[in-house]
Amino acid sequence: MMRHFAKLAASFLVGAALIAVTALPAVAKTFTIALIPGLTTDPFYITMHQGAETAAKALGVNLMFQGAPEFNSTLQVPVLDAVIARHPDAILIAPTDATQLIAPLQKAVEAGIPVITVDTYIGNGRYQTGFGNADFPLSYIASDNVLGGEIAARALAKAIGEKGKVYVSNVKPGISTTDQREQGFKEEMKAHFPNITVLDTQFNNDDANTAASQLQAVLARNPDLAGVFGANLFSALGAANGVKAAGKLGKVKVVAFDAPPAIVGELKSGLVTIAIAQHPAEIGWFGVAAAFAHLTGNSIPVNIGTGFTVITGQNVDDPDIKKFIYHD
């Protein structure tokens, strides 16, 4: 269903963008679209930037890329304010907090700048027509993170023989993407795997060392621990390092969300069993295409969902799979 919708949305945006390009006069304005990532140093957002650049070049758009070095709303708000002051024609943003970015983004709308959220959203809900208290984003372009969590649950369940104890290693509450991944994971386990016990979630504040320590603490309380789902990269790699330090390589299975280059070696060594790769380049591409379509008088879908690829140590070198590894 989501994959079908994504294809329809993709076809719509390509068509709208092409119509807009052919309809523009020779002296038409060159639009400037700003992309504000969750942070600038993460391979996920670097790959998203590359996808956005590809679309911008194809559509003749100036792309502004500006962000903070950490996934932190306190750091992101000044970046957003600086972008608003430059008054681009549209803003694409991955909000670092589901509620704290509402008021700062309202300033952009009040300044007449259309806002599209990418990867993360503001407000509450899953692929809805409204955004809770924030009804001004034109569109939300992202992976279906609840579905991603469900895929992770099924993958981990299969890896541990559909029985045993597992837990979620997560960042912190209030981040839409990781909240949804945890939600999907727990709902899938509860609905379809009665012989798997999901222990309390461990929040690591996006610190791999904390995630490693938490893994060892959970293992001390539950020596029969069978697996862990890392809801983002640092959670997964930290948990994997905790497994290694505890001498449980191969005995405690680790499923990682996201697939930067750093994950490849861990998949091949068996430290990480499975990685769920998003398609961030598609998110960036559709973000620019949607903004351009809107700026040239076309309507755009409220939600655009992109896909996932499941990567293992066995398929990671397959060219059709390898292309979904993120870029540094």
- For 255, the 3-state DSSP assignment is strand
The per-residue pLDDT for range 79-116, each reduced to its tens digit, is: 999 999 999 999 999 999 878 898 899 999 999 999 99
Would you list the DSSP string of 172-217?
Answer: -TT-HHHHHHHHHHHHHHHHH-TTEEE---EE-TT-HHHHHHHHHH
The per-residue pLDDT for range 171-198, each reduced to its tens digit, is: 999 887 899 999 999 999 999 999 999 9
User: What pLDDT shows up at residue 122?
Assistant: 80
pTM of the predicted structure, to 2 decimals: 0.82
If residue 318 lies in a helix (H) or strand (E), which one and from where to where?
A: none
For range 247-270, the mean pLDDT: 92
Residue 43 φ/ψ, nearest 5 degrees? -55, -30
Structural domains in the chain? 2-138+279-306 (3.40.50.2300), 146-277 (3.40.50.2300)
Q: What value does the mean pLDDT of the chain take?
A: 88
> Is pLDDT of 17 > 60?
no
